[in-house]
Structure 1
């Protein structure tokens, strides 16, 4: 059964939170895919992963590269890429994949200050629960720490 985690961003932007979560997944030996909704966002996340911390290195590539499927961390705007990843991060409104059950974990991150993003996340929650997935909901507290709410 796939574990689907919903991360409700309130006090920090995606750019502050995503690299650390990706780093933890990579350290577990998991192949990671990050799906955004535009090529511009893919490029911005690509730059972010190279520069987010001097003491960290996250080997990654994007869907522009011919060897995209072999990357340990892939940043893409294509739902059909990196289907062999263990973890798939969905950002900026990327949809819950039809093949969600093929991942160990799907992490859906949404901006709690955007009513449309909250509505999409609620719909994805219902869809994931109806699909029999184990769902957990995490919300940022005032200090930026994650608090499990459901």
Structure 2
């Protein structure tokens, strides 16, 4: 069964920067990752950022179009998940991808603005209507100094 998590980003956190850091972490843990974007331009921007988001970082990846196989690369960026990707999907898009069920884990990144949160609420309802139990992770609360010292 697909695990779905919604990560609520704090104010001031860049959606694309966070996606790059999360992708790097998943890659280092041995996962394959597909990042969903709405447009080819957004995919190209994210493709560039994955090379430059942090000095010294290395996340082997490629941008893909259509349903072609992504080859041996562990990370891909595009509008539609290519054949061969079924591990982690990070959705930066405005719709729930039809292929979400084939992934072991789906991560929905939620920006801090009201419009982004309203859109992702629709995604949350969609996953629930599909029989899944999505979880919410409030990254702003996780960054609280009280959480760092063990206070909940």
TM-score (structure 2 length as normaliser) = 0.81
How big is each residue's C-alpha offset from its partner over 1:15-47, in whole Å with a ceiling of 9 and x where there is no partner?
Answer: 331112111211222111001111111111011
Structure with a larger share of its residues in strand: 1
- Residue 33 of structure 2 aligns with which residue? 32
Q: How does 1:91-102 map to 2 (within 5 A)?
A: 91-93=92-94, 95-102=95-102
- Residue 123 of structure 1 aligns with which residue? 122
Distance 1:143 1:131 in 2: 28
- Residue 72 of structure 1 aligns with which residue? 74
Distance 1:75 1:51 in 2: 15
1:133 aligns with 2:135: no
Aligned length: 142
Pairwise CA distance, 1:144: 4.7
Are the counterparts in 2 of residues 33 and 82 from structure 1 also a CA contact under 8 Å?
Answer: no
Distance 2:24 2:30 in 1: 10
Structure with a larger share of its residues in helix: 2
Pairwise CA distance, 1:76: 0.4
Distance 2:22 2:125 in 1: 24
- Unaligned 5+ runs, structure 1: none
- Residue 53 of structure 2 aligns with which residue? 52
Pairwise CA distance, 1:143: 7.8
- Residue 104 of structure 2 aligns with which residue? 104
Pairwise CA distance, 1:100: 2.0
Report the RMSD for the aligned CA atoms in angstroms. Answer: 2.4
Greater gyration radius:
2
- Unaligned 5+ runs, structure 2: 148-152
Are the counterparts in 1 of residues 90 and 109 from structure 2 also a CA contact under 8 Å?
Answer: yes
